[in-house]
Amino acid sequence: MSYDFAPMPDENGYFGEYGGQVIPPQLKEIMDDINDAYDAVRQTDAFKQELAALNADYTGRPSPIYFASRLTEQAGGAKIFLKREDLNHTGAHKINHCLGEALLAKHMGKTKVLAETGAGQHGVALATACALVGIECEIHMGEIDIEKEHPNVTKMKILGCTLIPVSRGTRTLKDAVDSAFEEYLKDPVNSFYAIGSVVGPHPFPKMVRDFQSIVGVEARAQFLEKQGKLPDIITACVGGGSNAMGLFTAFLNDEEVKMVGVEPAGLGLDTPDNAATLTLGSKGAIHGFECYNLQDGEGNPLPVYSIASGLDYPGVGPQHCYLKDIERVQYETADDKECLDAFMTLSRLEGIIPALESAHAVAYAMRVAGSMDKDQTILINLSGRGDKDADFVAEKLGL
Ligand SMILES: *Cc1c(COP(=O)(O)O)cnc(C)c1O
């Protein structure tokens, strides 16, 4: 199947029937301003060079591709490779879009950048980018996540951002989004809402994807150079879907490359405690855009769950919804138990402690590699490192 991703989304921000701007008219004007500023600035050499220089000298790009030989041996089939986004400054892929968003906010003359955070990774990456660019930063975070992700909370404070604890509702990511968005609506002219994934109203799914697409562009060239061919399968975990879109975008036209997004099955797909939005969800609107949703009978978002805070979101990026419907990407799940097993296995066989989010993709690769030929290959986007999860996992497993 051929897939031309360049024109996606259309001018109204739609990927097929998903995306768009499900927002009040005054906010639509603001979003259209951001879209116009983005479309204009991303073409300029000055912006491209500034971002490229920061990606190289600040973040440490390109991140390497690593052949995980001991993991491959244990899985007993296809060769498993890792795209090492965990080695980026701040420890995850999120710095890729945070630098882009902070630079754009500065370019637009905004005085404050606002955001929500789940695992704290987006908060740390954004607070980092704002410190670098020299712009005020305010982060909203659920109280449950604040307890669970203590090291990231401390880092955000050190980096100089204002941290707002969110005590309403589920006290996790979904309510942090609502809280940050309400604050943003008080002054959308002077502030910039830096969304942490390929979600939200147009143009955010497009912008965040574009800033993340460097992951796949690098990976595709690196893999071709090292292996002389493209990978048979590329895979990434899917929460909102930014690291997955980052990897997938450069491969969309490569029909021979199978793409697999991995959602969190949590305690099981037959329990309410999961966040497998594409697998179990239905169509609806959330946070200003149309996508698959985990919702109740009245269209309200369900309280979702994953062992990985960064994946427990009841919506998902609109481009993923489209790619699922046209069957260009396959969406699978991994549960908490498989995720913990993958976390420990990668740590002990390769000396690489993955983020619990990324461990979902590792779990999927371990599951399928054994039934593939030894000359076949799987490339995993290792979206982040597991320092933030180490204490939590040790306690959970009684280490
Ligand atoms: C936030 C996060 C994710 C989930 O976000 P996506 O937008 O789905 O990529 C995945 N991995 C890590 C390490 C994260 O911090």
Q: Establish if 236 belongs to a structural domain.
A: yes
Interacting residues of 178 by C-beta distance below 8 A, sequence separation 6+: 168, 169
Q: Establish if 3 belongs to a structural domain.
A: no
Residue 355 confidence (pLDDT): 97
Mean of the pLDDT values across residues 49-69? 98
User: What band does 374 get if pLDDT is binned at 50, 70 and 90?
Assistant: very high
User: What band does 177 get if pLDDT is binned at 50, 70 and 90?
Assistant: confident
Q: Establish if 343 belongs to a structural domain.
A: yes
**Residue 246's closest CA among 26, 12, 85?**
85
Given 160, 180, 209, which residue is the final one in a domain?
209
Q: Which residues are catalytic?
A: 94, 116, 383
Residue 5 confidence (pLDDT): 53
Output the CA 242–ligand 1 centroid distance in Å: 7
> What ligand 1 atom has the least distance to the C-alpha of 118?
1
Query: What is the domain range of residue 363?
Result: 61-91+214-397
Same domain, 78 and 48: no
- Prediction pTM value: 0.95
Task: For residue 121, give the CATH number of its domain.
Answer: 3.40.50.1100
Same domain, 317 and 381: yes
> What ligand 1 atom has the least distance to the C-alpha of 196?
7
Domains held by the chain: number? 2
Q: For residue range 228-237, list pLDDT tens digits in order.
A: 999 999 999 9
Q: For residue range 271-311, list pLDDT tens digits in order.
A: 999 999 999 999 999 989 999 999 998 888 898 999 998 89
Same domain, 192 and 333: no
Same domain, 83 and 105: no
For 326, counting Cβ atoms within 10 Å of its Cβ (0-12 exposed, 13-18 middle, 19+ buried), the class is: exposed
Residue whose CA is closest, atom 1 of ligand 1?
310
User: What band does 6 get if pLDDT is binned at 50, 70 and 90?
Assistant: low
Q: Are 147 and 153 spatial neighbours (Cβ–Cβ below 8 Å)?
A: no
Q: Are 99 and 397 spatial neighbours (Cβ–Cβ below 8 Å)?
A: no
Establish whether residue 238 lines the binding site of ligand 1, counting it when its CB lies within 6 angstroms of any ligand atom: yes
Provide Rg for the chain, Cα atoms. Answer: 19
Mean of the pLDDT values across residues 143-171? 92
Establish whether residue 91 lines the binding site of ligand 1, counting it when its CB lies within 6 angstroms of any ligand atom: no
d(CA 312, CA 318): 17
Output the CA 26–ligand 1 centroid distance in Å: 30
The residues with which 262 forms a beta bridge, in sequence order, are 237, 332
Average pLDDT, the chain: 95
Same domain, 189 and 238: no
Output the CA 297–ligand 1 centroid distance in Å: 28
Establish whether residue 377 lines the binding site of ligand 1, counting it when its CB lies within 6 angstroms of any ligand atom: no
Residue 278 confidence (pLDDT): 98
Same domain, 99 and 86: no
d(CA 230, CA 377): 8
**Number of Cβ within a 10 Å radius of residue 350:** 18
Strands 136-142 and 233-237 turn out to be unpaired
In sequence order, which ranges of 234-289 are alpha helices (DSSP H)? 242-248, 277-280
For residue 374, give the DSSP letter.
T
d(CA 33, CA 346): 44
Residue whose CA is closest, atom 7 of ligand 1?
242
Same domain, 197 and 258: no
d(CA 128, CA 138): 12
Q: Is the pLDDT of residue 330 over 70?
A: yes
Residue 2 confidence (pLDDT): 43
Q: Is the pLDDT of residue 153 over 80?
A: yes
> What ligand 1 atom has the least distance to the C-alpha of 197?
7
Residue 167 confidence (pLDDT): 97
Same domain, 311 and 384: yes
